[in-house]
């Protein structure tokens, strides 16, 4: 079993590799909810553009994206989830930008 830089064990379920046991367990829960039709349209690793790429003084600056762990629909609402053990400064900043730009989604931190 492999470990990442935060000491999490990589786990594989349904042929999908997850960065932590916590994320894999949440995936299993969401799959069960989808089978019971409590949620629909489960998506893994959805990407959200926070800042377009641009040029500054002739130098290309890359786009900034937030990649969540899961997205799904429940009761007509769209939920975006992130499973976190350790909240980095970069994550905290991207979360704030996401919440501002994508306020139509319900954001959950697990």
* Residues 46-55: tens digit of each pLDDT: 999 999 999 9
Q: What is the pTM of this model?
A: 0.86
Predicted pLDDT of residue 80 = 98
Q: Using a CB cutoff of 8 Å and minimum separation of 24, what contacts does 23-31 make? A: 23/69, 23/83, 26/69, 26/70, 26/81, 26/83, 26/110, 27/70, 30/70, 30/72
Question: Could you give the CA distance from residue 44 to residue 89 in angstroms, rounded to a whole number?
Answer: 23
* Residues 60-81: tens digit of each pLDDT: 999 999 999 999 999 999 999 9
Structure tokens at 77: 């609402």
Predicted pLDDT of residue 1 = 47
Contact predicate 79/72, CB 8 Å: yes
Checking DSSP bridges between strand 106-109 and strand 77-82, what pairing results, if any? parallel
């Amino acid at each position: 079993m492999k470990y990442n830089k935060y000491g999490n064990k990589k786990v594989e379920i349904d042929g999908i590799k997850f960065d932590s046991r916590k994320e894999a367990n949440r995936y299993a829960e969401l799959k069960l909810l989808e089978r019971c039709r409590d949620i629909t349209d489960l998506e893994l690793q959805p990407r959200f553009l926070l800042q377009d790429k641009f040029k500054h003084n002739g130098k290309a600056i890359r786009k900034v994206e937030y990649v969540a762990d899961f997205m799904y629909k429940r009761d007509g609402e769209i939920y975006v989830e992130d499973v976190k053990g350790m909240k980095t400064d970069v994550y905290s900043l991207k979360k704030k930008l996401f919440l501002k730009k994508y306020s139509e989604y319900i954001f959950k931190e697990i």
